[in-house]
Structure 1
């Protein structure tokens, strides 16, 4: 079982939630995998995320059509990401 998100990209390469919700473009939907939680019935939540990402990369190496590995940032990015998102939201 993977953790991820179904995405429909618009012509501007930005996620189109309304198009995804309408279900009129199902053949264009892509799945971006973030993590692998279970494999062959084995619970993989205890190993570190970096190891799970490595396993997920290996699993998706065959490039299953429509499934992509989401980018992964190493290290502590949470505080910087939160500050950036907060600044962007306050300007909107």
Structure 2
């Protein structure tokens, strides 16, 4: 039996402002149901994740996250996780 496709990068923190995992961009409900979904359902969600993450965690028009970790209102709830600021695969650069 092959392992199901998963976008998880092991940065499992749900953002209280968006309800999305800061690592992969899935909702709590999607995470809970993930291995009960068909591969087609999982691939559809995976296809939506880049836009979902951009809309949730990156200010409109910005190429990179705000280095202060705060949105325009001074609220730090929507700051990108270390995985978004680091090297590919979630490893932090030193």
Common topology (TM > 0.5): no
TM-score of the superposition, structure 2-length normalised? 0.26
TM-score of the superposition, structure 1-length normalised? 0.26
**Could you say which structure has the larger radius of gyration?**
1
